[in-house]
A and B are shown apart, each in its own frame.
Chain A
């Protein structure tokens, strides 16, 4: 009878223990899941901290939600897979419940062959304890891992106090915002690359501009600029870059013998096929020997080209958003189509490559007025003018052939080559509305007048003459 009583006591104890373990498993899954959720929030917090400084590929809320979900799932899985030792559960429960090792001793006694005089009483008491105690009490109170959060929350709070947080960073970006971010990132990289080159070559002139370019990119990437602001800033910077580019180009030409850049390609002058983008690569076998100058020129040319492309992208994007598809305007006034104009950074690589044909300045076949052809001609006609104001006009005005700042061929003549080249690098199309045939003669006259000056070398005169010949001017008009 005693043995049967002991056996029934042990059976009852074991049944209660199994029940407790089942519930404890559930509790463990919930607890580990909760802990995992908290840990999963850490990347979200970190992303919130970084969002104002760095460009994130995803919105902060998405990062937080995904990482929290991942943490929850991982924690729950860990709870499911964790080995649940009955002895450990009961030891923990005894400690938490202050039952003085009653249940853990009972577990041990229930497995003994000769448990001793007090075994049955202990097992019975333990079974009663298990029956009347909630399973979660055996696992103790849930302690959330708050330690990693305290410094992060403090840092987030401090950052929010010092730098007001842009709440837009927490939400998904629109298509345009994403495009802005992409462009901003690429500009930032370009600016940084240029800055590095400038530092490496000790080129103070390019350094400031490169830093501004990187800053513009950073602001774009972090969503601090609207589209309009971005376009304004880009236009302004583009103008200054172009100016710097032309200065660098002049410098390069001044210190490089003409034979260095004209050898074997008479029709591809440095200004129409600029170093770094055309055949006359400074530093290559046919290029100039002055490394710093050519490096400066190449970097500026690349940056300018990139900036111009990006601005065109943005402008097109804005036009599309404004519901004006099909506009023939290729961008805001002042932006020439890539490869279409003689504008320095863009012209050489496509249209001049190795040909020496002097086709620079030609637009695409059938190109719209206001594209490269005219900007190229503007370049010739604008010699000596001050840099054209960089201003975004109404793109529709271009398609209508009216409006926008005028850069027509009636510009004043002759204050030096720099201004002429500057105008070529700032092709403002807002005034290019006349067919080329109507202005070519005027351009030719102005070019002749400019070339008649003493300081213009014979070689340059020949080059200009060849240029106008190539674009279809009558020979009589180009005779010097």
Chain B
């Protein structure tokens, strides 16, 4: 299976280990990975903030960069939903790119959906570390993609996992892109509720598949002295399979 990795700008810049884990895991399951070097951003920040012409321009660029790959996989639900849901709408009237946007949308997958729905990976034989309790936060874009079940199943379904469900799982972590910079006080109230819920689980690892959520929750947990590790599900799985040996 030929897969182009769309690593996304946040993961590229702030969480490169997630990109490495995705590559190794997909390879483990028989994929051939490509990384088009000209990739940058999908245009989501521009789109969400109403700069739609700019977002369309970014979208056209993205379509050119990922032209011709059988699958495009991204570790971010929000970037996936930008490509899958918004780009085709945004470029619907574009004669050169409208149809190509729809094609790219059909070929693009959020990582956990790709693993469960396309590759049909069964994680029940992969052993988690039973000594480290795990909780899971799904990103709001997992909900938009209808992939909350897939994403959490990859954690809940591990062998011997000590899984601690999070209270009020459906509540946003408070990131929301520019929202957290424009209304930092509302955002903070939201993320404090989330971090308190994490603390109540007693888990030492939080699985979060969206770099934005992770930065927000981890930055707040640090500020309040809560010592928990934050990991992408790709890191959890790659570690359990012994694929991250050279990278603690």
B partners with A: no
**Which A residues are closer than 8 A to B by beta carbons?**
none
